[in-house]
Amino acid sequence: MEIRLQKFLAQAGVASRRASEELILAGKVAVNGQTVTKLGTKIDPEKDLVTVNKKVIKVEKQKFYIALNKPAGYITSLKDPQGRKKVTDLLKDIQVRIYPVGRLDYETEGLLLLTNDGDFAYNLTHPKHKIKKTYLAQVQGIQSENDLQKLRTGIMLSDGPTATAEVNLLKKGKNTATIKITIHEGRNRQVRRMFEAINHPVLHLKRVRIGNLDLGALKVGEYRFLTPLEVQSLLKMSTNSDKP
């Protein structure tokens, strides 16, 4: 059965579907020895030979779904010219190529999913599915109810206004506060930029929930495999989000 080339690459764990499209457009993918740059190209995985940068690509039959408690000081990219530590360095017992589902910035801790299932990654990260992500943010200064309401209704950032958010003040310190914030967008450094916009910069940020999956008791730097029920539940959430 024929499938789109970018979907095949995602299923093979080469990269997310979006990143696979970029590889195709960059001329790094070949089918049966011929470079392909059209995104609509279809292939038969049983008959066609696909290479990326001249490396033969095959679909892994076994799918992996992993929850990691990401430490600060790790990047979620698979390569880094600066030589910084990568989250995949923490998965020493995993021998297949997997990649992060979405991202957390360098200094942010908490729940990060990794997989070699491109469809799973696509369903959880595509903006139309609006999968909620919850963070605990320790921020500088004490927020007024007016500040919190601004976060709830939307903040104007350099790349446009944010969508509505769920925001709760959990704790006040001497000159800090702990805020729980839930968003469904995935912009770069979004939570940090939202708090910067109301003049209360983030001192520490941790993601504690994706969809209906909690970080739970995972210690910093540790990971575990998701159960089949957890995988199905996350996929069901993304499917239901498409319904009116």
pLDDT, position 126: 86
Tokens 């914030």, residue located: 181
Rounded distance, CA 213 to CA 219, Å?
A: 16
Q: Please say if 105 is a catalytic residue.
A: yes
Question: How many angstroms from the chain centroid is the CA of residue 19?
Answer: 13
pLDDT, position 223: 95
User: Could you report the average pLDDT of every consecutive run of 10 residues in the chain (244 residues)?
Assistant: 86 82 94 92 90 86 91 91 91 84 94 92 89 97 90 94 95 93 93 96 97 95 95 85 51
Those residues whose C-beta lies under 8 Å from the C-beta of residue 165, and which sit 6 or more positions away, are: 151, 152, 154, 181, 182, 183, 194
pLDDT, position 244: 47
pLDDT, position 197: 95
pLDDT, position 124: 92
pLDDT, position 240: 66
Q: Which residues pair with 224 in a beta bridge?
A: 67
Cα separations (Å) of 140 from 12, 42, 172, 189, 200? 44, 52, 10, 17, 5
**Catalytic site residue from 44, 48, 93, 105:** 105
pLDDT, position 40: 85
pLDDT, position 1: 74
